[in-house]
A and B are shown apart, each in its own frame.
Chain A
Amino acid sequence: MALTTAPDPTRRGPGSNRAHASRRGPGHLRHSEGLAGYVFLSPWLIGLMGVTAIPMLLSLYLSFTNYDILTPFSEARWVGLANYERMFTADPSYWHAVRVTLTFALIAVPLKLVAALGVALLLNRAWRGIGLFRGLFYLPSLLGGSVALAIVWVNMFNRDGAFNSLLSLVGIQGEPWVNDPDWALETLMVLAVWQFGAPMVIFLAGLKQVPTELYEAASVDGAGRFRQFRNVTLPMLSPVIFFNLVLETINGFQGFTAAFVLSNGTGGPVDSTLMYTLNLYITGFTDLEMGYASAMAWVFLLAIAVLTAIFFSTGRFWVHYSDGEDR
């Protein structure tokens, strides 16, 4: 904090006779500022190298080796593409985990977004209670990712849980959903949808930006409510829908905590909640196959990168940006 650079070196910067110009000229690179830039950036740069870039390269190298953490790192054994080969051809549980993750994301994410948009539309009126509802609906997004709430969730869908007691009110005999391989993943999807509040808040902000004149014009043209929604709201909201879709999909692929809690870290019952990240964790930290886990991590990273690229390249066909505004 006590570091101060005297203004003098500034003047000795490239071209001291242009000192006056440099005060105003925004494109001019000043020596002391360039140095200061790197001083301020240094923690981030060290982090980028030490915590992100080097580990990534290390992980890439490891993915071509067999390595358990028990021996020194130098004893990692080079195996070429064997890990990738095993993943793609000889490991059914890997493909099972891929399927579980895709199923989870393909169902939970759209449901969550539809719920978020629906509730946002309900709330999108000028009236006094909105702040209260908005806050209440947002609460699950803050709590839902925790171990504590996952514990509650698992018990809620257990044999004697709250869900079955509700079912019994209408005469249905419920089962222990979380122990049933056909239903365990579904309870996790419900948990994800329950956290619709975060995308809802973003939708609400987007809805506020839609100019009311558009609705007036549409209704003058005789458009009913549904057509107004389809032809005004949806296109105007498409950037926000796109943003939420990308974000929630990427988050959906990374679900770990709830699956871990439900299955006590095994991915059960019968691997039905073996999410990709949980499989990676088990491979790396339970089976200590760190080379294989690194290969999984790289395929995961590539898959997310490809997915993001697909989103962005298809986005231009349906995402509508209003002219002249860079929102």
Chain B
Amino acid sequence: MVAVTPTAGVPTGPTPTARRRPGGRPLLRLLILAAIVAVVLYPLIWMVGTSLKSQEEIVNNVGLLPRRFTPGNYTAGWSNFDVSFGRFFLNSAMVSLLTVVGNGLSCLLAAYAFARLRFRLRGVWFAVMIGTLLLPQHVLIVPQYILFRTLGLVGGEWPYLPLLIPQFLATEAFFVFLMVQFMRGVPRELDEAARTDGAGPFGIFRHIILPLSRPALVTTAIFSFIWTWNDFFRQLVFLSQLEDYTVPVALTLFIDSTSQSAVGPMFAMSVLSLLPVFLFFVAFQRMLVEGINTSGIKG
């Protein structure tokens, strides 16, 4: 089945003493949990079900599942606009994957400096970095837009630069922080040993920290992919040509034309757009859940 392993990886896992309040009412608890599962899953199942209904059924059958499964909405939605959704998906994939690379590289470098190297003002810079953790992106969007536009990068030859440049400059302080925390757990004796063998700061980074930071890199990669894939605000602001649109921006085009006939295709494309995130969830469920545990993540 799915990679849902019961909490095996959690160090302070279920111990015999954890059954402290004997009994409870297992059946009652199970019923409540089942009800919550229903509430949680209902919108998702309804979404998939509606996307597979025929136009007629969308109007007449508000039930969870279609009486007859029809894939028509998917083909209709795919080519609903002058530019096909294939293009939007490629755009989104490109932005998300490049963001993963940018965040991984730049945050790793910064984290290594903060976690391992001693330099003037390190404490000050670290405090500044922590300060930017809570800085809302909405505060910076207007001046960033003006700046990138003045540089000719908004709607320029490659309109994704304003989205990607910040990602290659370690501006997602959250990932820097996550990696710093992780690197602090790497034994310093390894650095010392490498140093005795003549390695400098770069050698230690290359041979010790980089290979050992893989788990933190993977967590960063997964979360930056999902967040960028879902992100709407920045992409809405910086992308203006239809052929440059990413999936979230393209989806809002459906809202403009809320005739009843658009509902099916709109739902079909919504389902497709959530599919990558869902697959990530299935593949990395435990890592995602534990990723939040170790670091505490914005919801």
B200 near A139: Cβ-Cβ < 8 Å:
no
Interface of B is mostly: helix
- A40-B110, A290-B142 given; A34·B237 CB < 8 A: no
Which of A2-10, A88-96, A314-322 touches B?
A2-10
CB neighbours of B40 from chain A (8 A): 136-137, 139-140, 194, 197
Contact of B24 among A62, A125, A148, A301 (CB under 8 A): A125
B139 interface residue, CB < 8 Å from A? Answer: yes
Q: List B contacts of A248 (CB < 8 A).
A: 299
Q: Tell whether, in the assembled complex, residue B110 and residue A205 are in contact, meaning their CB atoms are under 8 Å apart.
A: no
Contacts of A298 in B (CB 8 A): 139
> Which residue of the partner chain, among A36, A48, A254, A301, contacts B202 with CB atoms under 8 Å?
A36
Write out the residue numbers on chain A whose beta carbons fall within 8 Å of the beta carbon of B192.
Answer: 23
Which residues of B, 269-296, contact A by the 8 Å Cβ criterion? 269-271, 273-274, 277-278, 280-281, 285-286, 288-289, 292-293, 296
Chain A CB within 8 A of B251 CB = yes
Of A51, A73, A137, A205, the residue contacting B144 (CB under 8 A) is: A51
Q: Contact: B120 with A29, CB < 8 Å? A: yes
Q: How far is the CA of A269 from the CA of B137 in the complex (A)?
A: 26
Q: Which of B33, B226, B280 contacts A122 (CB 8 A)?
A: B33
Task: Please tell me if the beta carbons of B125 and A125 are within 8 angstroms of each other in the complex.
Answer: no
Contacts of A131 in B (CB 8 A): 4-7, 286
Interface residue from A3, A135, A148, A256 paired with B4 (Cβ < 8 Å): A135
Task: Indicate with 1 or 0, residue by residue over B58-91, a CB within 8 angstroms of chain A CB atoms.
Answer: 0100111000000000000000000000000000
Q: Contact check, A4 vs B62: say whether CB atoms are below 8 A apart.
A: no
Q: Which residue of A lies closest to B129 (CB)?
A: A44
- In the docked arrangement, what's the CA distance between A133 and B252, Å? 32
**Is the pair A47, B166 in contact by a Cβ cutoff of 8 Å?**
yes
Bound state CA distance, A187 and B55, in angstroms? 26
A143–B255 Cα gap in the complex (Å)?
19
B66–chain A nearest beta-carbon distance, Å: 13
* A254 close to B136 (CB less than 8 A): yes
Q: Is the CB of B232 within 8 A of A256?
A: yes
Residues of the B chain whose Cβ atoms lie less than 8 Å from the Cβ of A243: 296
CB distance from B121 to the nearest CB of A (A): 9
Residues from chain B with a CB closer than 8 A to the CB of A145 are 230, 299
CB pair B274–A151 under 8 Å, yes or no, is no
Tell me the smallest distance from the CB of A301 to a CB of chain B, in Å.
Answer: 5
- CB-CB under 8 A from B62, the residues of chain A are 160-162, 164-165
* B119 and A225 form a contact (CB under 8 A): no
Contacts of A130 in B (CB 8 A): 6-7
**Binary per-residue interface labels of chain A (302-321) against chain B in the complex, 1 for a CB within 8 Å, 0 otherwise:** 00100010000000000000
**A side interface size, CB within 8 A:** 116
Known contacts A1-B206, A58-B143, A59-B140; is A32 also within 8 Å of B200 by CB?
Answer: yes
Does residue B161 face the partner (Cβ distance < 8 Å to A)? no
Which residues of B (3-28) have their CB < 8 Å from a CB of A? Answer: 4-7, 10, 12, 14-15, 17-21, 24
CA of A44 to CA of B102 in the docked complex: distance in angstroms? 11
Within 8 A of B (CB), among A124-170: 125-143, 145-149, 151-153, 155-156, 160-162, 164-165
Chain B residues contacting A137 (CB-CB under 8 Å) are 36-37, 40
Separation of A34 and B113 alpha carbons in the complex (Å): 9
Q: Which residue of A lies closest to B105 (CB)?
A: A43
Write out the residue numbers on chain A whose beta carbons fall within 8 Å of the beta carbon of B195.
Answer: 23
For A156, list chain B residues within 8 Å (CB).
43, 46
**B-chain residues with CB within 8 Å of residue A205 when the two chains form the complex:** 293
Sort A-B residue pairs by CB-CB distance and give the 6 closest, nearest first. A47-B169, A37-B119, A126-B14, A36-B201, A148-B270, A55-B143
Interface residues, chain A, with chain B CB atoms under 8 Å away: 1, 3-7, 10, 23, 28-30, 32-38, 40-48, 50-52, 54-56, 58-59, 62, 69, 73, 119, 122-123, 125-143, 145-149, 151-153, 155-156, 160-162, 164-165, 194-195, 197-199, 201-202, 205, 208-209, 212, 215-216, 225, 243, 247-248, 250-251, 253-254, 256-257, 260-261, 264-265, 277, 280-281, 284-285, 290, 293-294, 297-298, 300-301, 304, 308
Question: B residues touching A (Cβ–Cβ < 8 Å)?
Answer: 2, 4-7, 10, 12, 14-15, 17-21, 24, 29, 32-33, 36-37, 39-44, 46-47, 50, 59, 62-64, 105-107, 109-110, 112-114, 117-120, 122, 125, 128-129, 132, 134-136, 138-147, 149-150, 165-166, 168-171, 176, 192, 195, 198-203, 205-206, 226, 229-230, 232-233, 236-237, 247-249, 251-252, 254-256, 263, 266-267, 269-271, 273-274, 277-278, 280-281, 285-286, 288-289, 292-293, 296-299
